[in-house]
Amino acid sequence: MNIRIRLCFLLALISGPSLFGADFSMRVTDKNYLETQGFSVFLYDSTYHPVFVDQKNTAMEMILHGARIATNGDVRLMPTPEQWDLVATLKNRQADKANNRLTADLAFPTFNLSYTLEVTAELGGVKVSINLDKPLPEKLAGRAGFNLEFLPSIYMGKAYLVDGTKAGIFPRTPNDSMVKVLPLSDEPKKAYYLEDWDKAKGYTQPLPFAQGKSITLGVDDTLARVNVQSDTADLMLFDGRDRAQNGWFVLRSLIPAGKTTGAIVWHIRPDVIPNWTRPPMIAHSQVGYAPDLSKVAVLELDPKYSGPKTAKVLRLMEDGSYKQVFEGPITPSTPWLRYVYSKFDFTSVKDSGLYVIEYADQRTAPFPIAKDAYANIWQDSLDHHIAEQMDHVSVREGYRVWHGASHLDDGRLAPVVGEQFDGWNQATATDGKYKGGDHIPGINVGGWYDAGDFDLEEPAQLSVIQNLALAYRTFHLNYDELTVNEATREVEMHRPDGVPDTVQQVKHGALLILAQFHNIGHAIRGTHEPDLRQYTHLGDGASKTDGRIYDPKLGLDEAKGDYSGKPDDRWIFSSNNPFFQWNAIASLAAAADTLKGWDDAMAKDCLETAIKAWNEEKAHPTQNPTAGGLGGAAPAGAPGGGVLAASQGVVSGVQGIHKAQGGSGAPASSAAASTQTAPPAGSGRGGFGVGQDWAAALELTIATHGAEPYKARLKELFPQMIMPEQMGFRGWTAVRALPYLDASEKDQLREAVKVYMADLDKQLVATPFGVPPSLGTWGGSGAVVDMAIRMYFLHLAFPDLVSGDYTMRAVNYILGTHPVSSTSYVAGVGTVSKTKTYSNNRADNAYIPGAVIPGYIIIKPDFPECIDDFGFLWFEDEAVVAGSASWVVAGNAADAITKESR
């Protein structure tokens, strides 16, 4: 008996709260999550997305030592569910401060399954319970279980222990046995494209690679060590990457049959470091600073951190030693979200050289102070990312072929299939002489892949054309490092051919838009994959389709010349929305002005096509603004999703409408100041109210040197464009019309800018960084790039009202002066930059130089996140072609401002 008592006592010590020697207690905070110093648990502060579903940021989530280690804690019907698989419906949630408990009431209505997910504080961690309203339906036995997903980049290569003795290492490469798990006979019918996708993948699921009653994850990692014990069914560890490269490690227990209360009971005990505080983060520009411009770093500090009141600047000497050259005060801390912030101004350091900033025990990587610090921040975006995204051509860099000539089988008019994945839809099965399924000739030219996916997003195409045309004309951008041969469909990097790269890229985009007008008669909504197998494709775009035009008379595996029986050709989504038509007119006019002297025949074609479309639209205005839908758009309020920045002559950095996880993206941030995904609802004919033809009027006025009727329309719209509600959206582009305005109109614009600046300064104090905050579903770097562009043009026109500091602040933000980390958001640019991005090579854990990521988002309610070493969260990492084009403008603007100070 005594031996038995002693054994029970020893087992209690092993399994009890003191497993890691930290008997901490958690409490429900005023923000309604459970917390102790160093560990937080959220429960359904965010919900599954209505379009993209699983984004890895909802249900039960855990933050340990400043990192979100786990997410998606809830009942699921698969061991490793994919993005579109069935999720529970959240009915309500509660935070019980008296009992330090979080609860969520959920259901799978189709299966008549209702339950409560309960997370309760207990000594040394939390207790997680699943309480069913009634026993599990028989058909769900062996299918329904509680899942909690752990971030692979934290745990792969780290050790785990099962039941204290069975050891293992989290795999870097998934290699588990797969089994077929067929859908239930009465499972809710999925959309046709999901059914096809499941069939294509064979309904497979991995087997667990570890199983037991107690599992300790990250045994060898003091910052990520956590133990989970189950009082009920066994714990099983699965590798979600067996099914898709974006999968996470999944910890799962099956719900036992016959159980209700306490059907699942887990005890989660993290090894929390006592009195842990997050180390200071020194946010600064990773490319350095110009000698005579402002230099301000921002310190992101744990609220409980107590550090020095000064910071230092050290110069890196030639022998590798560091010499202190400046010490100055940091400002009093300002709270924002989870952390507090102080600023460190070292503007007085002006001598050219290499420097680091030192605060407490943290030291930055080296950065230069130099007159040309900003001279090389945009070239990678133009000659690597945008070049790599070119469709319908092959792209080579030295020994490497980025991709072959892709999608030569474009394209077929999309049939009416109802809602397509990613929100796309086709409202009508005809367009002129074409009907759904018909091949439309001549569309297999020009354009750029949108993002990590291979869509040709119309808003993104128009954005890139207008931004690169603007960069070329504003900055006389004769930079040439590409050879582009449209006739042979070949592009080669690092090989000048005598034509400016911006001109060649504008031509590449214009080829696609001209093809639409010449072969269809108008601009379209976009070109999109027909199925999820293509949509989730990673790697060479030329291997996505067979490059042969679909012929239904041929067998599936039959090919004859340029034709085949394989229906893999991309779908063309048509549109009668004037939003696309007017902005296509603007893009062709901008292209015409850019191509003059380089390709006069094409410049003439662009201008004549734009004028013809203008006349037709004025004579017969589009009456159905929603035909064809805005597919792929993010929900209202989400930054980005592909809205053209307000039909404004320059489409300022809109980062495209993107797609879904696995092989495509989701709406990343837009640089449009409005952060709308589509024209504002209810704002008049065409869906975006007054001045929908403003951009077209502006670009045609410029391209025709002030010809009528474009100049007259420009002047007619001018008073509306400079109203306060329009100035930050598209009205600011009126500065480009200054040569065509009279003195009184210039005075009106000047007064409008005064009003705008007074309001803007009030808005920009919302964050410690003095730029628009990222408050939406996708990171907000695009809005910051838009600010850089907008403020530069206002500065050019009214330097006494708008200083260059606004543009430099925005550019420095993108380059590292932002929350979470000081990693440059431009891949490969700066000493420390993002090197794992949501691009089409992300399966290689790699990046495309010059790609601009969306940046941090707020994991609700208060946790800012942008994970450096993981490239599969599209809302933080997705790099879109339009974002790179806007960065080319912003980067040149920053360099131009530094030249003003020399």
Q: Which residues contact 410 (CB under 8 A, 6 or more apart)?
A: 392, 443, 444, 527, 569, 570, 572
pLDDT at residue number 635: 29
- What local confidence, expressed as pLDDT, does residue 5 receive? 33
With a cut of 90, say whether residue 308 has pLDDT above it. Answer: yes
Is the pLDDT at 675 greater than 70, yes or no?
no
What distance in Å separates the CA atoms of residue 693 and residue 701, rounded to the nearest whole number?
Answer: 12
Q: Are 47 and 209 in contact (CB under 8 A)?
A: no
Q: Coil, strand or helix: which one is 758?
A: helix
Q: Which of 756, 858, 859, 774 has its CA nearest to residue 814?
A: 774
> What pLDDT sits at residue 420?
83
pTM here is: 0.93
**CA–CA dist 672, 785 (Å, integer):** 9
Query: Higher-confidence residue: 668 or 226?
Result: 226
CA angle 687, 689, 695 (to 5 degrees): 100
- For 881, half-sphere exposure in the C-beta direction (CA atoms, 13 angstrom radius) is 33
Residues 817 and 284: beta-carbon distance below 8 Å:
yes
Yes or no: say if 681 and 498 are a contact pair by the CB < 8 Å rule. Answer: no
Residue 541 to residues 184, 206, 337, 577, 607: CA-CA distances in angstroms? Answer: 35, 28, 41, 29, 32
- Confidence class of residue 690 from pLDDT cuts 50, 70 and 90? low
Decide: 854 and 655 in contact? Cβ < 8 Å.
Answer: yes
Least confident of 375-379, 567-571, 625-629, 888-892: 625-629
For every residue of 552-615, which 3-state class applies, written as one string? CCCCCCCEECCEECCCCCCEEECCCCHHHHHHHHHHHHHHHHHHCCCCHHHHHHHHHHHHHHHH
Q: What is the pLDDT of residue 252?
A: 98
Q: Is the distance from CB of 301 to CB of 339 less than 8 angstroms?
A: yes
| CA neighbor of 88 nearest in space, from 111, 106, 110 | 106
The token pair that represents 147 in the structure block: 């899942």
> pLDDT tens digits, residue range 205-253?
999 999 999 999 999 999 999 999 999 999 999 999 999 999 999 999 9
Average pLDDT over residues 388-414: 97
Instruction: Determine which helix (DSSP H) or strand (DSSP E) holds 220, and give its type and residue range.
Output: none
Q: What is the pLDDT of residues 250-294, one digit of tens each?
A: 999 999 999 999 999 999 999 999 999 999 999 999 999 999 999
Placement of tokens 């004309």 in the chain: 473
The strand pairing partners of 234, in sequence order, are none
Mean pLDDT, rounded, for 563-583:
94
At 636, the amino acid letter reads A
Which stretch of DSSP H or E encloses residue 794? helix 781-797
Listed range (10-24, 94-108, 236-250, 532-546) with the worst mean pLDDT: 10-24
What integer best gives the mean pLDDT of the chain?
A: 90
Contacts for 711-714: CB closer than 8 Å, 24+ residues apart: 711/740, 714/740
pLDDT value of residue 22: 72
User: In the sheet that 571-573 helps form, which strands lie side by side, from edge to edge?
Assistant: 412-413, 571-573, 526-528, 456-457
| pLDDT given at position 901 | 74
Distance CA 724, CA 757 (A): 10
C-beta of residue 590 within 8 angstroms of C-beta of residue 508: no
Residue 646 · residue 858 · CB < 8 Å:
no
Rounded CA separation 299/683 (Å): 42
Q: How confident is the model over 514-565, as pLDDT tens digits?
A: 999 999 999 999 999 999 999 999 999 999 999 999 999 999 999 999 999 9
Residue with tokens 């390709």: 599
What does the alpha-carbon distance between residue 849 and residue 610 come to, in Å, rounded to a whole number?
A: 34
Q: pLDDT for 38-67, tens place per residue?
A: 999 999 999 999 888 999 999 999 999 999
Confidence bin at 655 (pLDDT 50/70/90): very low
Q: Does residue 647 register a pLDDT over 90?
A: no
Going from the C-alpha of 82 to that of each of 536, 684, 859, the distances in angstroms are 12, 40, 21
